[in-house]
DNA sequence: ACCTGAACACCGTTCAAGT
DNA sequence: ACCTGAACACCGTTCAAGT
């Protein structure tokens, strides 16, 4: 975890881990069959640290609960930006990943969805969170923690306003909104539209 | 591109590229400042090959057009699975990425959305596609093309049925649906729910 | 079970030097 | 502008050997 935070996804090397432990690189292979297994364990460990804050007035309000879970997962992944790149390389079937999926199915069942609809909705929600953090992290690569939201928005705005309006007029016209893609507000907006569609159907 | 297809994201090395070109590794640095720039160019190149099939009866039907664009982008990324891991490491601001965003804003504007709503909807759609392919690719890592959908579903079902029903009863009860997460059908289902919510609001 | 040491086949990137 | 060659500081993984 220290290597992941300090040096990013690529910094998590077998040799680096061994070095921190004061051990020879090959000693790591007593505990993991290969580097991919180490990365998989790391991903599930981060997922195990997702904590949904118990907000008031959320009892019985399944929609608020789903939103809180999605935001908590997003927050945790943005807090450990290195894992996001790792998630495209390992199947998400660790115990903590499964526990999060189960918790989501629980809340969706409370919302009155049958088992199939709940599972499909759970899929869409996971996809949405993962995609959102992937886009966020892609904008601010490199090791170290993600910079504050405001900085990332400002950097995006600067990069996008450099665009000539000619080839991409609609993009140029909506620069302010597009710069805010990395924002929790836009994350919630898309989530709300999906939940609207879920309850309307 | 050949290296990406044959050996996956990690296989795209400066030395590997130089080798294919019959040139010394450092010669690559005449054209790209570093490996990250090579990867960024590769990502945008793949995005440039997205082709939305012109289906009948889609003229004036913006919802069908949005769906076709999302499916075309998904299909292209699944056809080059190596790029997906790359997308978490480079900002998506290449010319082809911008052109895709502009095309999406066009269709959404046709749907009657104002500039802000169109941009927000475009964000949610990009996030959804990227998240879906990331989940798909994570299930079938390693180099080479993605195996057929049916095989990936079967493998997921096998991995999930190994679960004891005790710790995760809802997951166990919905195994068939969850095994189908990597399916175009489920991709379309979530997309439809979002579009429902978009038009309802 | 857990660790070492040597070895193999790799990396990205720099720098100075050539044409 | 484009390429070379040498060098530096790294990788993952194997194997045989120890305790």
- Which residue is closest to A110 within chain B, CA to CA? B170
Residues 6+ apart with CB under 8 A from A191: A67, A70, A125, A128
pLDDT of residue B165: 76
Residues of chain B with Cβ-Cβ distance to A130 below 8 Å are 131, 134-135
pLDDT of residue A79: 98
Answer yes or no: do B198 and A197 touch at CB < 8 A. Answer: yes
| CA of A21 vs chain B CAs: smallest distance (Å) | 26
What confidence tier does B164 reach under pLDDT thresholds 50, 70, 90? confident
Which of these, A73, A102, A85, A101, lies nearest to A42 by C-alpha position?
A85
Kindly state the tokens that stand for A61: 């309000």
pLDDT of residue A201: 64
Q: How many Å does it take to go from CA B135 to C1' C14? A: 38
Residue nearest to nucleotide D2 (CA to C1'): B30
Answer yes or no: do A134 and B131 touch at CB < 8 A. Answer: yes
Q: Are A137 and B88 in contact (CB under 8 A)?
A: yes
Q: Helices in B13-165 by DSSP H: which ranges?
A: 14-20, 35-48, 62-79, 82-87, 95-110, 115-139, 149-161
Answer yes or no: do A87 and B127 touch at CB < 8 A. Answer: no
Averaged confidence pLDDT in chain B = 95
Kindly state the tokens that stand for A157: 């705005």
At A141 the three-state DSSP class reads coil
* Helix or strand (DSSP H, E) at B4: helix B2-11
Q: Helices in chain A by DSSP H: which ranges?
A: 2-11, 14-20, 35-48, 62-79, 82-87, 95-110, 115-139, 149-161, 169-173, 175-179, 184-200
Residues of chain A with Cβ-Cβ distance to B147 below 8 Å are none
Residues of chain B with Cβ-Cβ distance to A200 below 8 Å are 196-197, 200
CA distance B30 to B18: 12
pLDDT of residue B73: 98
Position with higher pLDDT, A52 vs B129: B129
pLDDT of residue B59: 82
CA distance B96 to A179: 18
Segment A101-141, tens digit of pLDDT: 999 999 999 999 999 999 999 999 999 999 999 999 999 98
DSSP B26: G
pLDDT of residue B162: 83
Segment B54-110, tens digit of pLDDT: 877 788 899 999 999 999 999 999 999 999 999 999 999 999 999 999 999 999 999
Length of chain B: 201
- Show residues, CB within 7 A, near nucleic chain C: A 23-27, 30-31; B 12-16, 25-26, 29, 34-36
What confidence tier does B201 reach under pLDDT thresholds 50, 70, 90? low
Where do we find the tokens 């709300």?
A192
CA distance B181 to B183: 5
Residues of chain A with Cβ-Cβ distance to B121 below 8 Å are 190, 193
This model's pTM is above 0.85: yes
Tens-binned pLDDT, residue by residue, of chain A (201 aa): 999 999 999 999 999 999 999 999 999 999 999 999 999 999 999 999 999 888 777 888 999 999 999 999 999 999 999 999 999 999 999 999 999 999 999 999 999 999 999 999 999 999 999 999 999 999 998 899 999 999 999 999 999 998 877 899 999 999 999 999 999 999 999 999 999 999 986
CA distance B126 to A112: 29
pLDDT of residue A171: 97
- Which residue is closest to A155 within chain B, CA to CA? B91
């Amino acid at each position: 975890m220290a290597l992941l935070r300090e040096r990013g996804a690529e910094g998590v090397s077998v040799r680096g881990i061994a070095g921190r432990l004061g051990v020879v690189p090959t000693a790591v292979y007593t505990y993991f069959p290969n580097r991919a297994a180490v990365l998989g364990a790391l991903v599930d460990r981060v997922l195990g640290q997702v904590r949904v804050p118990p907000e008031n007035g959320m009892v019985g309000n399944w929609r608020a609960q789903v939103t809180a879970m999605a935001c908590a997962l997003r927050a945790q992944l943005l807090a450990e930006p290195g894992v996001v790149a790792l998630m495209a390389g390992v199947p998400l079937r660790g115990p903590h990943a499964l526990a999060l999926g189960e918790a989501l199915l629980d809340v969706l069942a409370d919302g009155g969805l049958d088992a199939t609809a709940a599972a499909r909705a759970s899929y869409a929600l996971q996809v949405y969170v993962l995609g959102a953090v992937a886009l966020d992290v892609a904008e601010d690569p490199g090791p170290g923690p993600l910079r504050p939201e405001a900085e990332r928005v400002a950097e995006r705005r600067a990069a996008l306003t450099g665009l000539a309006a000619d080839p991409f007029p609609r993009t140029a016209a909506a620069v302010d909104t597009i710069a805010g893609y990395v924002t929790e507000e836009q994350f919630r907006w898309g989530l709300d539209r999906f939940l609207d569609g879920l309850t309307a159907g």
